[in-house]
Amino acid sequence: DSGVTQTPKHLITATGQRVTLRCSPRSGDLSVYWYQQSLDQGLQFLIHYYNGEERAKGNILERFSAQQFPDLHSELNLSSLELGDSALYFCASSVAQATGELFFGEGSRLTVL
Amino acid sequence: GDSVTQMEGPVTLSEEAFLTINCTYTATGYPSLFWYVQYPGEGLQLLLKATKADDKGSNKGFEATYRKETTSFHLEKGSVQVSDSAVYFCALSDPGSNYQLIWGAGTKLIIKP
C-alpha cells in the first residue's frame, strides 16, 4: 500500500460526458502528479502540483483540468470525453517537488463508450 | 531534450534465468536514474535508484549501475521468478527537465515456470 488513494477505481461513461477523478496523497506529501497510461502501457505525464500551485504541465489536453486543494487532495477533471480518453489515470505523490521518488496510487480506469 | 530509451518487450524468460533490461539515456545535466516496476493491476512502485555516476542501486535481487561513460542504467537480476513478471520502467530526473521524471516506454517481462 503506497498510501496514495484514488477514486473511483473504475468508471464507465459515454462520449461527450465529464468525469472527475480524485486523489489523496500520502500524509505529508505536498506534490501531486497526474499520469495517463494507455493500453500499450505508455506513461504520459499530465500535470504536477506542489502545495496547491501548478508546477509543470505535460501533454495535457485543453479538455482536461486539474487542481490541488488546501487539504492537498487533487482532482483531475476530464470533459467532452472521447473514445481515445479511455485509459488508466494514475496519481502520484512525493514529499518535495524536485525528486524522482514518487508514490503511485492504484489508478482509475476510465472507459469511454 | 532529455530522453530515455528502453529495450522493447515483451521479454520472455524461464524461471531462474538471468535478466537484463537495457536502458540508455540522454540528458543535459547530471541526472538521477530510476527503475520503477508495475505489477499486473497495480500502480508503479520505485524499485531502485542511483544518483551519481558509478552508483549501484539494488533492491529485491535487482541491480542497476549508473554508467556515465555509456549513458546507461541497465537492470539485472541473477535468477528471475514468476513473481517478477511485470512492466519495468526506466526514468531520469534532471535539472534540464526541471526535475520532472522522463520515462522510458516500459518493458514487459514475462517469466514462465
Query: What is the structure's pLDDT at B82?
Result: 97
Predicted confidence (pLDDT) at residue A5 exceeds the cutoff of 90: yes
Specify the DSSP element, H or E, that contains B87.
strand B86-93
The 10s digit of each residue's pLDDT in B96-106 is 777 789 999 99
Q: Which of A24, A43, A59, A97 to mutate to test the interface with B (most CBs of B within 10 A)?
A: A43
The 10s digit of each residue's pLDDT in B51-105 is 999 999 999 999 999 999 999 999 999 999 999 999 999 999 987 777 789 999 9
Bridge partner residues of B24 (DSSP):
B5, B72
Number of neighbours of residue A69 by Cβ within 10 angstroms: 11
Query: What is the structure's pLDDT at A111?
Result: 97
Q: Is B79 exposed, middle or buried (0-12, 13-18, 19+ CB in 10 A)?
A: exposed
Confidence of residue A2 (pLDDT cuts 50, 70, 90): confident
Higher-scoring residue by pLDDT: A90, B100:
A90
CB-based contacts of A109, cutoff 8 Å, min separation 6: A9, A10, A11, A87, A88, A89
Query: What is the structure's pLDDT at B96?
Result: 74
Query: What is the structure's pLDDT at A102?
Result: 95
B contacts of A42 (beta carbons < 8 Å): 105-106
Q: How far lies A96's CA from each of A16, A36, A48, B102, in Å?
A: 36, 21, 11, 17
Contact A2 B45 (CB under 8 A): yes
Contact A100 B49 (CB under 8 A): yes
CB-based contacts of A53, cutoff 8 Å, min separation 6: A68
Residue of chain B with shortest Cα separation from A88: B43
Query: What is the structure's pLDDT at B76?
Result: 98
Q: How far lies B22's CA from each of A46, A65, B63, B103, B104, in Å?
A: 26, 35, 12, 14, 11
The 10s digit of each residue's pLDDT in A28-85 is 999 999 999 987 778 999 999 999 999 999 989 999 999 999 999 999 999 999 999 9
Contact B43 A58 (CB under 8 A): no
Query: What is the structure's pLDDT at B97?
Result: 76
Tell me the average pLDDT across A82-99. Answer: 92
